[in-house]
Structure 1
């Protein structure tokens, strides 16, 4: 989800709610402690130089139970980030504390923002010899032309 999509949603909702894919809600007294731009410049395992730019939200489960982030307040934080950091309309990556700091992409289910689990992957499978996933076949669907059967004389 891009930053512009989040802003459009914030203009239509009454509350800012986040939840994990499994349905666990981020406590409603969370804080957005950072809105920023993250740039990653790296070389993949195939030797290709890559750049990745994302907008970043950091959610923090505070012990401040008296405050709740309103859509307008988050919109003003985003606007300030766009102005001061020249934040572009980038894909959003969310940091949220679990056992360690987790990174999530973001979606919206019509009511809540959903922290979508991200996975690592090889970006250069052709260059580093990672085989393509093998096709799964059910043994019962294999042709039986050259198979050995009891009493068939092949054993």
Structure 2
């Protein structure tokens, strides 16, 4: 989800809810403690230099149970960060405190809740590392040869 998409979604909401990949909601007294631009410049294992930028939101929960972040307030925080930090319309990455470490998530929206989508590591240079493409896995007995019109046993002749 890009910044332009979250701003459009916020215009239609009365309350904000973030849903974790396991279906649980982030406590409704969460804070967005940071909105920023994160640049990552790196070289992958195949020797290709890469540059990535994301808009980063950090969600945080405190014992401030009366706190509620309203859609218009988050929209104003996003607008201010775009202006002051010169953030273009980037994809959003969300940081959220998990049990033992910070979790990083992609963001989506289902019309009601903002969905925190798990991120996974991956090799970006599989062709240079010799990692074979994943083959289709078929269980014995599930694969059946397709019958064609030229098959004498197809019943069409």
Structure 2: distance between partners of 1:36 and 1:73: 16
- Name the counterpart of 1:13: 13
Alignment size in residue pairs: 143
1:69-117 Cα shifts (integer Å, max 9, x gaps): 0001101111110110011100000000112100000001110101000
- 1:33 corresponds in structure 2 to 33
Three-state SS of the structure 2 residue aligned to 1:50 is strand
Alignment map for 1:108-127 (pairs within 5 Å): 108-127=109-128
**Do residues 136 (structure 1) and 137 (structure 2) align?**
yes
2:23 aligned partner: 23
Structure 1 unaligned spans of 5+: 144-155
| Separation in 1, partners of 2:22, 2:135 | 29
Matches within 5 A, 1:84-123: 84-99=84-99, 100-123=101-124
Distance change (3 Å), C-alpha of 1:23 and 1:142:
closer
Deviation at 1:133, TM superposition (A): 1.2
Structure 2: tracts of 5 or more residues without a match: 146-157
The runs of at least 4 aligned residues of structure 1 exceeding 6 Å deviation read none
**Hey, what's the Cα distance between the residues in 2 that align with 1:47 and 1:30?**
41
Partner residue of 1:46? 46
CA-CA distance at 1:62 after TM superposition? 1.2
The TM-score with structure 2 as length reference comes to 0.87
Distance 1:97 1:13 in 2: 25
RMSD: 1.3
Rate the CA distance shift 1:139–1:97 in 2: closer, same or farther, 3 A: same
